[in-house]
Amino acid sequence: PCNLTGWWKNDLGSKMQVFKVSNDGTFSGEYHTAVSSAKKPIQPSPLTGSQHLDEDGQCTFGFTVNWKKFSDSTAVFVGQCFSGDEGKEVLHTSWLLREKVDTEPDDWKATR
């Protein structure tokens, strides 16, 4: 079965550390992004999530990252863990990022 605990790295050089997945699938950790449009220096950001623990190990999961240390935005990621070549675990994810806007008419440009 897929074990999310540990360090993960994506194609852009961002890294995530999942501290421990509990028996009910919940987990926490830190996200170290390599990309940002924020004006403040990038800092590790807390993440919380949940993993669906399937018997076949090809589990789905989701987590939220609060960029509060350097940005007014929040991101959510959803994905699935696959056993790739030679048993190496690979995560495939999609994400949404919500940035703070000052007025309701600007809502259209707040989510990527």
pLDDT digits (tens, 9 = 90+) for 3-29: 899 999 999 999 999 999 998 899 999
pLDDT at position 92 is 94
Q: Write down the pTM of the prediction.
A: 0.87
pLDDT at position 26 is 95
In three-state secondary structure terms, 38 is coil
pLDDT digits (tens, 9 = 90+) for 58-89: 689 999 999 988 888 999 999 999 887 787 88
Give every CB contact of residue 51 below 8 A, 6+ residues apart in sequence.
2, 4, 21, 25, 26, 27, 59, 60, 61
CB 6 within 8 A of CB 20: no
pLDDT at position 54 is 72
For residue 1, pLDDT over 90 is answered with no
Query: Domains (ranges, CATH) in the chain?
Result: 6-34+44-103 (2.40.128.30)
pLDDT at position 57 is 61
Q: Check the CA dihedral 88-15-110-51 and report its sign.
A: positive
pLDDT digits (tens, 9 = 90+) for 36-63: 888 888 889 999 999 987 776 668 999 9
Which tokens hold the place of 10? Answer: 């994506």
Cβ-count burial of 16 within 10 angstroms (0-12 exposed, 13-18 middle, 19+ buried)? buried
- Closest to 49 in 3D by CA, of 12, 14, 24: 24
